[in-house]
Structures are given as C-alpha cells and as structure tokens.
Amino acid sequence: MKPQKIVILGTGGTIAGRAAAASDNIGYTAAQVGIDQLVADIPALAEGGPVTTEQLAQIDSKDMSFAVWTQLALRVSELLAQPEVQGIVITHGTDTLEETAWFLQAACSPAKPVVLTCAMRPASALVPDGPQNVLDAVAVARHAGAQGVVAVCAGTIHGAHDVQKVHTYQLNAFGSGDAGPIGYVEEGRLRLLRNWPLAKAERAQEAIKKIADLGNEGDWPRVEIVMNYAGASGAMVEALQAQGVRGLVVATTGNGTLHHALEAALLKAQAAGVRVVRATRCLNGQVLAKPGDAIPDSQGLSPVKARVALMLDLLS
C-alpha cells in the first residue's frame, strides 16, 4: 500500500529560532526559519513517505492568539478529512504548547494523530534538538493506530490532557504529571505505555462550527485565571467582574482550597452568572470533588487548560 501523507504545519517557536552565535542557546529570536527550511534540513524525513509543509503562522508562542487557534483548528479539521492524510505534525513554541494541544484535542478530538512538537534550542544552535523532535513526531504520526492530539519532545509522547511544560531550559522540558507519558519514541519505533487520547467526531464538528462562526478575537468568551496564595483577596475577581468577564478559573492551593476572601468574591461572581471552575496550582494530582462543593472542579485539567475548556463550553 502507498504510504499516506503527513502534513507539517509550522507555527514558529524556538524550533524555528535563530541566534547570532551558534553557542547561544537562550539569546535567540523565536520564529525566524520557515517550515520548508526546517524540513529540508532533515533529509531522513522523506524516507518514510510523502511529507508536505504549510507555514500556518510564524510567532513566538507566548503571543499565541485566538486568531491563530482558529486558523489551526479549521486547517487541522480540513486536513484530517482528506483520506490521503495519515496525520498532522505541528511545530510550535514550547511556552504555550500545552494550551494549543488541549485546545485542538477539545475542539477536534481527532481519530487521526495530530502531533505537536517543538525545541528548547534554536535552529541555529551547535546541537539543535528540533530536527530529532520532528523526526520522532513524524514517526508518531505514521504509527498505525495512533490518534488524538499528543506532544512529542525529547523522545517522549505526552497526551494533550496531561502534558505540561515543567522546565525552563532543559531539552526534556515536558512532563505528564502522575498520569505519565503515553510512550516513547526509540530509534523511530514506538514503545507505548497507555492509550491514545479519545476521538469524538460528533462533538468535534460542533466545536469547529462554533469556532468558524466567530468573527474576530473579541467574540471569544473572556475567561481569566486568578490564583490563591497567602493573603489573597477578592480584588482581582471584582475588577474582572466589573469588566464583564464570563468565566473565571481559580488556581487553588492544594486540593481546591481558597482563602476565605477570594472564595467569597468567587461565590458572589458565580451567583451573578460568571462561570467559576477550581483547578489546582499543584503540579501533580487533581482537585477531588467533595459532596456539597460550591464551585465545580476542573476534572483534572491544569488552570490554563481548564480555561480553554471553559471558553469552549461557553461558546456552545
């Protein structure tokens, strides 16, 4: 059987970054090298079958926007519908990779693999990590039975639900918390430890339609994140409520705990119609629901992903 096509969508990031000196791994500008060039520099990519590229955006992912998310969701769902496309690889900055991964999983819930990959060193580095990450990502996208949105970095496959950037500069910068990774890419072969993310085609079509209908950035429901900490108050919640915020995710301490002043403001906002969700600022574990909880929990999503989920929920 003829191998199917893998489409690589470039969005920028450190993987496409350039520094003035090859020895400089941190003083670079992200999003400088085009996706065609990045792929041309990895001749081994062509060995497994056809690979095509598209430059969807060229940004530092700290500046990720709803406009780029909309473009990504629509293009990903268009490509996935093409029978000749086996899977999609997206090159992305590491800083907001986990948010885009969860956004695409929640919006598209794909039955084919959508693999986000990245680099911690710029393309101009003496020893860049991007080329191996792209090669590994394509191996995942070509794997029979792979599905859903995953992230591949440093030979590790993380599911969209659990992946989180956990280190500021090391090459193995991502973790999956206590859920653990989906598996590893070892010399082009996959060693799988658990299931792929779930595919939910019907829900996906609904979400994509809602996203396509959004006219501009301002139409996205405004959801902000507030945090609990020693001496927290309700001031941020009150200010955001006065600005018409539609949803609030609170990064609680521990197992969903809140300073009484912040809790009072959140309950007041909730009673006034603002959707409020509790996530935890702890790196591992999740908020465990108790009978009588006044504020719902994030079902194991981190604060930034709970925000994405709440925005999509408010869209529908």
Catalytic (active-site) positions: 14
Applying CB under 6 A, the residues found at the interface with ligand SIN are 12-14, 30, 60-62, 93-95, 118, 120
Q: Output the smallest distance, CB 64 to ligand SIN, in A.
A: 8
Number of residues in the chain: 316
Minimal distance, residue 119 CB to ligand SIN, in Å: 7
Question: Are 81 and 108 within 8 A, CB to CB?
Answer: no
Considering the complex, state which of residue 70 and residue 100 has its C-beta at the smaller distance from ligand SIN. Answer: 100
Q: Is 61 or 302 the residue whose CB approaches ligand SIN more closely?
A: 61
Contact 132, 87 (CB under 8 A): no
The least CB distance from residue 152 to ligand SIN, in Å, is 14
Looking at beta carbons only, is 17 or 234 nearer to ligand SIN?
17
Closest separation between CB of residue 102 and ligand SIN, Å?
16
Task: Give residues with Cβ within 8 angstroms of 281, minimum separation 6.
Answer: 227, 228, 251, 252, 253, 303
Residue nearest to ligand SIN (CB): 93
Smallest separation, CB 93 to ligand SIN (Å): 2
Q: DSSP string of 59-121?
A: E-GGG--HHHHHHHHHHHHHHHTSTTEEEEEEE--STTHHHHHHHHHHHH--SSEEEEE--SS
Q: Give every strand in the sheet of 113-117, ordered side by side.
A: 51-59, 5-12, 85-91, 113-117, 148-153, 156-159, 183-186, 189-192
Q: Quick one: which H or E segment has residue 141?
A: helix 130-141
What lies within 8 Å, CB to CB, of 315 at 6+ separation is 207, 210, 211, 214, 220, 221
Which CB atom, from 123 or from 249, has the smaller least distance to ligand SIN? Answer: 123
Sequence-distant (6+) residues with CB within 8 A of 165 are 94, 95, 97, 98, 173, 174
Backbone angles phi, psi at 278, to 5 degrees: -100, 120
Q: Give dist(CA 130, CA 119) in Å, integer.
A: 5
- Cβ nearer to ligand SIN, comparing 13 with 175: 13
* Residue 31 Cβ vs ligand SIN, minimum distance, rounded to whole Å: 7
Nearer to ligand SIN, 4 or 29 (CB): 29
